[in-house]
Amino acid sequence: MRLGSAEMLDFGLGEYITQHPSKRYPIYTRGNAGEVWPEVAYPLTITLTRIAGEDAAAKAAINAGVISPKDILEGPSCFGGVFAGYMYLNLSFGRMIAVRTPGTTIEKSDATYYGSEQQAPEYSPHKDDKNLLASMKIIRYGWKMLNTNEISSLESDRELVRQWQQRLPEILHSTNQEIVTTLREIMQPAMDLFTNHLDVTGQAGGAVQLLSTICEERLGNRSLALTLLGNLGDVDSAAPSFALWELGRIVAKDPKLSTLFDEGVIGLEKRIRDSYHASNFVDEFDTFLQEFGSRGPNEWETACETWGTDPSSVLVLIDRMRLADPEKSPTMRAGKLAKNREETLLLARSQLKGFGLWLFNKAFHASVLFSKARERSKTTIIDLIHVARLMSRELADRTARERDSGELIDLWFILETELDEFVRDPSAFDERIAERKQVRNELSRRVPPFIFEGDLPEPSTWQIREEVNSQAFPALKVGDTLEGFGGGPGVAEGIARVVTDPSDPGSLGTGDILIAPLTDPSWTPLFVPAEAVVVNVGGQMSHAVIVSRELGMPCVVAAADATQIIKDGSHIRVDGSSGVVTILDVPNE
């Protein structure tokens, strides 16, 4: 097995899926990886998708000219990977790209992609980091990015996914072995989609970095870039918020529907589906599930539930939306943001001339084009993953019913190389599945290091999650500040509401400030009633920044330990431009 490939390895807690870290690129971070894959990955998902993911990352980087095959001789862990079940990105590799990219810096790269600039070790130069030929290719790549007006792959990729969606009913009625074969078959289109996504992501990051640099160096205010990219419209990450808002308004305006929701979220789906009066709402709700059913927490992991497989999780969000202040309407916010963006754009152009104005216009256009394209390409992948999820769930249900104590989740504890044998005789894997479940549970109880260099610290030394959550962190006092990365311009004041699970928003209400450990699409609807968002981790291209920017709300990411040191109920000020959170008042004990 080549260095970096995924395998089962015993870390002292029992065997679980892992890779060997790179010696050439030794620093790994959970930054950005944590919001894409927040939980412990399952063996089947990693071993089934591993080759597609590896090939896509290598192909995209080589196509961009930033590397050559000799730069990745160690294999896939050069880009990142799964270590003791947790997903990481390779910070060292990203820093090498930054060194090779004219006009950027290590600090800007860290902030854009990883949000790791406050915790990562200092950069240690390597003799192979600089590469003149790669730098020249990157310039050519950047020139192509600045002059791109259309990304044709977006629609062709959508058509590919539509074809798979149309095939799904037939696949679900095929034999177990045919489903296994199809699961392997879908990895090739998944690789093609992921390659395109990484290509678009790289160009989006480059464009946003360039725009930010122009705003900082030519206009004296880096945060202007955030205003310029606010409310672009048609951004897939924010789309569910607009749709959920409308569903929430339907409930808020209908006393009978409101009564059904007032009875509590437990059993709510059955109540509304059994109610003749709720039929129109049910139609709208099902339309939402049809369009956004692939989204949800940990949506890259086929083992996990999404809004489509667990509609009750959507009703929890609608229940919160119906209570929101009508003034928080995303559509109303959009009008204000569009006006601010146009005013800022006119001001910026009036202060620039000649080549500076030309470069600004190109960078702005590319930032808008590729930022929207990045979210669209991600949604396309998620929709294909959902096809694989539904195929896997059918196979999981069948094999679980063949075993005396089988569970739906059991399939995902099988390795890809074991699939054929498993579908022939599922019961033969009972002991193996039980052992892997126990190890995963133990890893889930522990907090992986946010950043590690060299070898991964032994999981047995990681902090226990419950102990960390209950640990008495020294809470910030009145006048104290917490510094992070400014991700959404503006200043807001409100009551801090610490939320650690999007399905349990607690007392978060209109005008409050959401304090979260990280965010993925399942958190997006909670942004709408909030006044601002503060997140423990994240970079300039992270989910929280993109959605906050689209909804026009102050946002601070990479605010380390915010959920532990900001006391729930505190009155705080969030400056989304400077990245500073200030404690104005704290609740009495």
Query: For position 556, which CATH number holds?
Result: 3.50.30.10
Same domain, 136 and 99: yes
Domain match, 164 and 87 both: yes
Any domain includes 397:
yes
pLDDT of 471 reads 65
* CA pseudo-torsion sign 473, 476, 480, 481: positive
Whether 178 and 311 map to the same domain: the answer is no
State the alpha helices, DSSP H only, in 275-411: 279-292, 312-321, 330-350, 354-401
Number of structural domains in the chain: 3
- Same domain membership, residue 72 and residue 31: yes
- Domain shared by 178 and 47, yes or no: yes
Residue with tokens 């990203």: 94
Q: Which of 332, 360, 379 is the last residue of a domain?
A: 332
Domain membership of residue 405 (yes or no) is yes
Same-domain status, 251 and 306: yes
| Of 419, 443, 467, the domain-final residue | 443
CA distances from residue 214 to 24, 87, 202, 349, 367 in whole angstroms, order as listed: 33, 34, 18, 12, 12
Residue 186 and residue 51 share a domain: yes
Report if residue 470 sits inside a domain: no
Tell me the chain's radius of gyration from C-alpha atoms.
Answer: 24
Evaluate whether residue 1 is within a structural domain: no
Q: Which residues contact 498 (CB under 8 A, 6 or more apart)?
A: 506, 515, 563, 566, 567, 568
Mean pLDDT by 10 residues, the chain (589 residues): 67 90 93 84 92 84 89 86 93 93 84 67 92 93 94 96 97 97 95 94 90 92 86 80 91 95 93 94 96 90 94 89 81 77 92 96 96 93 96 97 92 96 95 96 93 93 82 81 86 92 82 88 80 85 81 86 91 92 87
Residues 15 and 148 in one domain: yes
CB 260 within 8 A of CB 271: yes
Q: What is the pLDDT of residue 37?
A: 87
Does 458 map to a domain?
no
In a domain, 372, yes or no: yes
Can you tell me the distance from the alpha carbon of 561 to that of 377, in angstroms, rounded to the nearest whole number?
A: 31
Parallel, antiparallel, or unpaired for β 513-516 and 491-498?
A: parallel
If asked whether residues 326 and 367 sit together in one domain, one would say no
Do strands 86-90 and 27-29 pair parallel, antiparallel, or not at all (unpaired)?
A: antiparallel
pLDDT (0 to 100) of residue 3: 40
In terms of domains, do 87 and 174 share one? yes
| Dihedral angle sign, alpha carbons of residues 34, 37, 43, 49 | negative
Q: Which two tokens stand for residue 241?
A: 């918020």
- Choose one of 304, 332, 360: the last residue of a domain: 332
Tell whether 2 is covered by a domain: no
Residue for token digits 């994240």?
538
| One domain for residues 212 and 243 | no
By residue range, what is the domain housing residue 272?
239-332
DSSP 297-322: TTTT-TTS--TTT-THHHHHHHHHHT
Residues 207 and 243 in one domain: no
Using alpha carbons only, what angle is made at residue 518 by residues 117 and 115, rounded to the nearest 5 degrees? Answer: 15
Global confidence as pTM: 0.90
DSSP state of 296: S
Q: Estimate to the nearest angstrom the gap between the alpha carbon of 357 and the chain centroid.
A: 34
